[in-house]
Amino acid sequence: MASHSSFFNELVDAEPFFVMAGPNVIESEDHILKMARQIKFVTDQFDLKLIFKSSFDKANRTSALSFRGPGLEEGLRILEKVKTTFGLPVVTDVHEIHQCEPVGRIADVIQIPAFLCRQTDLLVAAAKTGRVVNIKKGQFCAPSVMVNSAEKVRLAGNPNILVCERGTGFGYNDLIVDPRNLEWLREAKCPVVADITHSLQQPAGRKLEGGGVASGGLRELIPCIGRVCVAVGVDGIFMEVHDNPLRAPVDSPTQWPLRNLKALLEELIVISKVTKGKEKFRIDLRPVEEDF
């Protein structure tokens, strides 16, 4: 098996955590370059490792009429411009096997969507690019499933793996974040990422005028989930950020306002400095005598 890449080791060593952040989907070249510049400006103030995130195609939108993005070729061109302009690594998601090879030429991290986290052929194709593979835990999966998903990537010759918590289905139109998952995901033997924005989605929970549904969300609880995840001791924070969330064409209810990014990261860094969440707590079960 190949050894860990130098970039993967940078993520492992990132303190107090690395950040994957950006708008959900590529809306235009100008917008993406603006967002990359402004998010980088914020994370640089805290010396945080930033991987810029955006999608070229949202293939699993609730409605066939929803905006999906510019597509593979144009999307990768724009993400490559982010890399050359700002020197930032980028992460984007793939939905089909044939996308992995061209995405791997540009993206530093290939993301496997939660709905596809068990798709063996997709995981293997992503693995064969040699890039870091970020596997999102399916909303329908126990954390133990991610042990097998990570192993599929390893067996394909790639040890550069991240696993990502993004909530668990709770009834028909809601998700919850079980903090225990953040501990159990470590059984996959790779860094753990917490998606603190998608975790607050309410899938197909919003009825539209004229019929149909769209995903809702609980943006106001993003700081709550962020605090919990950092206190438990995750290695990375994933969050979708937008300069005008109310007008975002995808996942508007769960994109974090760019205006509030600095304040939230500042608080999460403070929490990270007092928690020992990344350390295994040693439980002592010896009986207690009268004096101890």
Secondary structure letter of residue 185 according to DSSP = G
The alpha carbon of 200 is separated from its chain's Cα centroid by a whole number of angstroms, namely: 13
Residue-wise DSSP of 15-61: SS-EEEEE-SB---HHHHHHHHHHHHHHHHHTT--EEEE-BS--TT-
Say whether 251 is catalytic: yes
Residues 143, 165: Cα–Cα separation, whole Å? 8
Say whether 57 is catalytic: no
- Tell me the two tokens of residue 165: 């918590």
**Annotated active-site residue in 40, 58, 136, 137:** 58
Check if the beta carbon of residue 111 is closer than 8 Å to that of residue 134.
Answer: yes
The alpha carbon of 215 is separated from its chain's Cα centroid by a whole number of angstroms, namely: 18
**Annotated active-site residue in 24, 134, 160, 181:** 24
Query: Which ranges constitute the DSSP H helices of the chain?
Result: 6-13, 29-45, 72-86, 97-106, 120-127, 145-155, 179-184, 222-232, 261-274
Check if the beta carbon of residue 162 is closer than 8 Å to that of residue 11.
Answer: yes
Residues 225, 181: Cα–Cα separation, whole Å? 13
Secondary structure letter of residue 228 according to DSSP = H
Residues 90, 85: Cα–Cα separation, whole Å? 12
Q: How many CA atoms lie within 13 A of 273 on its CB side?
A: 6
Say whether 121 is catalytic: no
- Positions annotated as catalytic residues are 24, 58, 251
